[in-house]
Structure 1
Amino acid sequence: MKKVNIGGVPEHFNLAWYLTLKNGEYKDKNINLRWHDYHGGTGEMNKALRSGEIDMAVILTEGIIKDIIDGNPSKIVQTFVETPLNWGIHVANGSSFKTIEDIKGKKAAISRYGSGSHLMAYINAKHNNWNLDKDLNFEVIKNLDGAIRGLTEGKADYFMWEKFTTKPIVDNGVFRRIANLPTPWPCFVIAVRDEFIANHEDELKIILDIINKTTADFKSIPNIDKTIANRYEQELEDVQEWLSLTEWSQTILDKETVENVQEQLFDLNIIPEKVKYSELIHKI
């Protein structure tokens, strides 16, 4: 049985992986797929792909594109979530910050450099016509728990993370959300190490076929809203809203989208150059 290590954030987007694992669908095909939670998000998963700690990752589009250009020996094999990620911009509930203008030049909490929280701080700055050299400052906080401590203790001033994941923290009066910013592209892709693609493409195809069958019918799974609400400790109405906004994908990330992501990252000086589609994408 072939052992395959895959990483992802422990969030509702990835419940389909848990369900297929629970059902033993990979083992039925002689594949021992092992899921690893990465609380530190995309930056932590990029490091794990580079080291060979994992073979595959369900990862933010902009984060993996930047890291492949920076030398990560991996390729994107598929879009996983077609819709944008809705980033909430959060401050400590007791802070004096009320608007986006109030946090201009203040310190952003980021899980690590190269993470989604880091890159989206740049997207937010550009969106609001800030000076990228003067108006962006960062404090590395590793994960969501670190962000809670960082904002509460005043080590950082604001934090960007997926709106529905952080909503319970907002509801509990720890964070206050002052704005939302959706990504201008599909949010999650599946990335795989080049070495694994070269040696195990048959197993990779089986894994993608299994997960795609589940995501194609995900919203029609009986009581899926209640399952998500219970598992991720969210309010049922929030889950229902999230489901109405979210679409999974079973197809390759198209060339136009890849060019759009690269164009924006290049304009922000996040990547040093734009590369060919074939250097970022592998079609199974």
Structure 2
Amino acid sequence: MTAPPHPLPPPLRVGWHREHFLSPLLQLATQDNGRHFELVECPGGTGEMQVKLASGEIDVAIALTDALIAGLANGQDAYKLVGRYIASPLRWAIVTGKESKYTEVSQLKGTTFGISRLGSGSQVMASVLALRENWAPAEYPKFEVEGQFKPLRDSVNSGKTSVFLWEWFTTKPFVDSGEVRFIGSVETPWPSWSFAASTKANDHAVANFLSALQPHVREFDAPSSREGPDIAFVSRTFGLTEEDTKEWLQTVKWEHHLPEVSEAVVRTALTVLEKAGVVKPREGGWKIDQFVNTAVAKVVE
């Protein structure tokens, strides 16, 4: 008698945020068609993904390096880093309301910044901005949690918050339409996007997902793709103009070996986050295995 076939394991649940950086993921998703993984959109960004990793709602997140590292350093233990995604820094726009009184960064000392969630990239980078500007601790921003991108835009237009920080090109269409204004920008001092996986996720399934995504990343990053297909895909999928897409592509570079984590990047981020007051220094220093699942990712220099 023939044994019944083994049921397929449930698809890996991958948290993502609707940004153009995730184009290779969407192309893989179209090919996979839900057989091995399913996308779980997280409009609240990295902060929402961290919550969903902790609650068991997603297995993997493609999220902001700094916020993931800060969460782990501050005691989160529901996930670990399993790979690196974007090799270039992220340009965060400093965004205010269309009629707000703020016109330059120096006016923002001690004001209330809108953030998506506590521990999110929007909060982490506000503290990095304060560090860059040499503000005194008493001048650091206060924070108002607004959740998603639309409430953040509403908060600066109502005057509830002074500014919020969001990825430059995602915000630019709303600047072009006159809904909000840019008054500056701040770049991450580290490569901007990484992979994290729940500590309860199946390591083999996570490794297979990274392996399946890797050729799509390499193809998207290829010069021949950047000259035409990438521009068409991003403009069609995310609503960026061709001009903005071309400008963005000049600034971004993908990693070509996804299941790796750079120890130097982790330690650089921790040093900056400690100076910014986001992370408290640990007596005796940090151990890299607190941050990385070495069953999936190789630790490199």
- Separation in 2 of the partners of 1:4 and 1:191? 13
Render the CA deviation track for 1:119-142: whole Å, top value 9, x for unaligned: 100000010011233331111111
Instruction: Confirm or deny: 8 A CA contact 2:87 2:192 kept in the other structure.
Output: yes
- Separation in 2 of the partners of 1:112 and 1:210? 31
Q: CA deviation at 1:26?
A: 7.0
Question: Is the partner of 1:46 in helix, strand or coil?
Answer: helix
Which is greater in Rg?
2
Pair 148,232 (structure 1): closer, same or farther in 2 beyond 3 Å:
same
| 1:189 paired residue among 189, 194, 208 | 194
Q: CA deviation at 1:275?
A: 2.3
| 2:178 paired residue among 173, 179, 182 | 173
| 1:214 paired residue among 216, 229, 240 | 216
| 2:58 paired residue among 54, 58, 65 | 54
| 1:140 paired residue among 108, 129, 145 | 145
Pairwise mapping of residues 71-220 of structure 1 onto structure 2 (< 5 A)? Answer: 71-196=76-201, 200-219=202-221, 220=224
Render the CA deviation track for 1:136-189: whole Å, top value 9, x for unaligned: 111111111011110111110111100000000110111111111110001110
State the TM-score, normalized to the length of structure 2. 0.88
State the TM-score, normalized to the length of structure 1. 0.93
- Separation in 2 of the partners of 1:228 and 1:267? 36
Please list every run of at least 4 consecutive aligned residues from structure 1 whose deviation after the TM superposition is greater than 6 angstroms: none
Question: Is the partner of 1:19 in helix, strand or coil?
Answer: helix
Cα RMSD of the aligned pairs, angstroms, is 1.5
Q: CA deviation at 1:71?
A: 2.2
- Separation in 2 of the partners of 1:139 and 1:112? 9
Q: Any unmatched runs of 5+ in structure 2?
A: 1-7, 297-301
Q: Say yes or no: does 1:260 pair with 2:268.
A: yes
Over the matched positions of the two proteins, sequence identity in percent amounts to 27
1:245 aligned partner: 251
Question: Is the partner of 1:139 in helix, strand or coil?
Answer: strand
Instruction: Confirm or deny: 8 A CA contact 2:60 2:206 kept in the other structure.
Output: no
Render the CA deviation track for 1:199-229: whole Å, top value 9, x for unaligned: x222222111111111011034452211111
In structure 1, give the amino acid aligned to 2:218. A
Q: Any unmatched runs of 5+ in structure 1?
A: none
Q: CA deviation at 1:52?
A: 0.8
- Separation in 2 of the partners of 1:92 and 1:223? 35
Q: CA deviation at 1:267?
A: 2.0
In structure 2, give the amino acid aligned to 1:76. L
Q: Say yes or no: does 1:234 pair with 2:240.
A: yes
Question: Is the partner of 1:195 in helix, strand or coil?
Answer: coil
Q: CA deviation at 1:265?
A: 1.2
- Separation in 2 of the partners of 1:95 and 1:264? 31
